Structure 1
Amino acid sequence: MTLPRTIVPVSDDEAIARIERDVALLWPKAARTGPLGLAVSGGPDSLALLLLAHAALPGEIAVASVDHGLREEAASEVALVGEICAALDVPFTPLKVEISQGNLQARAREARYQALGEWAEKRELGALATAHHADDQAETLLMRLSRGSGLAGLAGVRASSHVPGHEDVLLIRPLLGWRKAELQEIVASAGITPALDPSNQDPSFDRVRVREHLAEHQWLDPKQLAQSASNLGEAWLALQWFAEIDWEDMVHRDPNGQMTITYYANVPRAIAVETIMRIVGELGGMVSRAEAGRAFDRLWQGENASLGGVLAIPGIEKLDKIGVDMRAWRFSPEPPRAVH
């Protein structure tokens, strides 16, 4: 990435109005308590977010750039983002993280959001924005379809959520309706040559292969795929809403203080799976949706289920406030196994 002598700010009124609308939908003006933080890597997508936000929210943004220490070029890319911010008179903070052992991409993501969350809290930012766009969303949807993901996975990247580990920090992704080519054009028009991550060209990564497939098959419209993911996201929010009602109405703790929870199961499987996961968590265990789904199937057939250190025993019981017999599944910590 090279820094031009003069950065040409975004002047397209339509683009500025568009990003203003996209940000306002996720972060209403009446709810704003501080500047908008931007995570900018130096790639074309995040630089476009910076340029758009600079034009739409002058004096109301701050930028951070994370060096994961995984590539030699990373430090110089962070420095150049800082130079661009200086040229635009935007507050800038470089962040350096260390990646722990394990899945490299997952650990890098965890470390990045941890650092960004801490930065947002320290700066008292109103929200944090990342540059995920429609092509990212389409790729994510196709990858998860190929893996047989459930509704939670097919919902893709959420337009609005919270920074993992920093639940008080709103996380927004205002570019999910924008195509990558549009963002590249914005950066090119500013006279900036963005950084290019070589991993984005490495076919050993699933995302790169999916990207190549989309490029080869024009009938697959990334923007429409992204819209489908958005629709699935709305369905997922509706399911979570009903799961909360199920928890409040149909989950009962033992009145004598025992570590036993009774669940009156009377909802579709997808909702019951969320409730089962929450019950196991309340009893000190941890379980995936796939495991909770298998437990549901066993319990529905009248069989005991063991999951996450919790034993579930099915039965039938009359629920007083309804006055009808219902499935009553009792969950309690599994007893210690005998050692011979």
Structure 2
Amino acid sequence: MSFTINLPVIPAGTYIVAVSGGVDSVVLLHLLQHQPQLQLVVAHFDHGIRSASSNDAQFVERLAKDLGLQFELGLGQLGAGASEETARVARYTFLHECRKKYHAAAIIAAHHQDDAIETMLINLVRGTGWRGLGSLYSHEQLLRPMLEATKDEIISYAKMHRLTWHEDETNSDSKILRNYIRHKVVPRIKMQPNKYGTLVDLYKEQLSLRQKIDPELKEQFERLVKGEGGEMQIDRYQLIMLPSEVSYELLHETMVRLVGSRLLQRHVERILLFAKTAKAGKTFVVSGKVVCRTTKSQLIVQLCET
């Protein structure tokens, strides 16, 4: 039986391919071989969380060598208790360093449709707002060309092409929220295809909404927010005069540029309330990451000192 996964055509150039050694990234790398206009660098980050993780690194290095591709290895020492967020930040820091080293156009990651739905459900529980429902998407520096493919399709492709991969034993640990959703929640939803299809449609609707909102948000940000590095200054009067939904988005974007990730919705709501009510000279620490302070005309947001 013939079976394939159709990737979008990626513009010619150099790209960093994030390869963990699992089936998703192995299939991604195999598919990218069919686009000869690409110069690929295989990048693997060993988080230093699992004792057997060095085996994954050796496997990926052999795979890259067999394909005649450049290999980059990043070594972390995060320890067994590291959170998913800590691991993600360390991994993407390494990947972006590789992108700069090779002057690559972008990073290519192996996220697929199941990942998108799992992330949507996790963010729904965490209260990250509407953007959390569509947080996995492709953008200029990070391509995710397999988002239309399901996990079942990826496994079928790997078996058909007799690919080999490494299984991360921690992926079966249901004490981890993502694994619990992957192994306990999503399979139950998939038993009712209409309900699962509704989640997929919701995810795609959020991506469409993002495409419409982001250009407007960029315009507002450039008009109202100044600063760079570890400090941003926001026009306080203009911020509080905007509709609340627009103010929330502006603050979320400020946090992304300042700390590299969005805050929970409740934290952003507290920042907006602080901007509206605090007297000049007051300070407010948010989630241990940033400190806000007010002047008569500005809300100043700074990275917390470590």
CA separation of 1:117 and 1:94: change in aligned 2, threshold 3 A = same
2:147 to 176, 191, 195: 176
Deviation at 1:172, TM superposition (A): 0.8
Question: What corresponds to 1:320 in structure 2?
Answer: none
Partner AA of 2:175 in structure 1: S
Q: Does the 8 Å CA contact 1:239/1:271 hold for their aligned counterparts? A: no
Question: What corresponds to 2:97 in structure 1?
Answer: 118
SS in 1 for 2:34: helix
Deviation at 1:191, TM superposition (A): 1.9
Question: What corresponds to 1:331 in structure 2?
Answer: 298
Partner AA of 2:207 in structure 1: G
Point out the more displaced range, 217-226 or 175-184: 217-226
Question: What corresponds to 1:294 in structure 2?
Answer: 270
Question: What corresponds to 1:51 in structure 2?
Answer: 30
1:202 to 173, 192, 213: 173
CA separation of 1:224 and 1:45: change in aligned 2, threshold 3 A = farther
1:213 paired with 2:180, answer no
Q: Does the 8 Å CA contact 1:44/1:194 hold for their aligned counterparts? A: yes
Question: Unpaired runs of 5+ in structure 2?
Answer: 228-232, 285-290, 302-306
SS in 2 for 1:152: helix
CA separation of 1:227 and 1:172: change in aligned 2, threshold 3 A = farther
Deviation at 1:237, TM superposition (A): 4.2
CA separation of 1:159 and 1:112: change in aligned 2, threshold 3 A = same
Question: What corresponds to 2:115 in structure 1?
Answer: 136
Q: How many residues align?
A: 280
CA separation of 1:98 and 1:219: change in aligned 2, threshold 3 A = same
Question: What corresponds to 2:243 in structure 1?
Answer: 268
Partner AA of 2:209 in structure 1: A
Query: What is the root-mean-square deviation of aligned Cα atoms in Å?
Result: 3.7
Q: Does the 8 Å CA contact 1:251/1:263 hold for their aligned counterparts? A: no
Distance 2:226 2:101 in 1: 40
% identity of equivalent residues: 23
2:4 to 3, 15, 34: 15
Question: Unpaired runs of 5+ in structure 1?
Answer: 1-11, 162-169, 254-258, 314-329, 335-340
Question: What corresponds to 2:287 in structure 1?
Answer: none
Deviation at 1:69, TM superposition (A): 2.0
Distance 1:58 1:276 in 2: 40
Report which of the two structures shows the higher radius of gyration computed on alpha carbons.
Answer: 1
Distance 1:51 1:291 in 2: 42
Deviation at 1:177, TM superposition (A): 0.8
CA separation of 1:187 and 1:245: change in aligned 2, threshold 3 A = same
Question: What corresponds to 1:64 in structure 2?
Answer: 43
Q: Does the 8 Å CA contact 1:101/1:107 hold for their aligned counterparts? A: no
Deviation at 1:129, TM superposition (A): 0.4
Distance 1:108 1:280 in 2: 19
CA separation of 1:53 and 1:247: change in aligned 2, threshold 3 A = closer
Distance 1:267 1:243 in 2: 12
Deviation at 1:219, TM superposition (A): 1.9
Deviation at 1:156, TM superposition (A): 2.0
Question: What corresponds to 2:288 in structure 1?
Answer: none
CA separation of 1:73 and 1:222: change in aligned 2, threshold 3 A = farther
Give TM-score, length-normalised by structure 1.
0.69
Deviation at 1:280, TM superposition (A): 9.5
Distance 1:281 1:213 in 2: 30
CA separation of 1:58 and 1:276: change in aligned 2, threshold 3 A = closer
Partner AA of 1:180 in structure 2: K
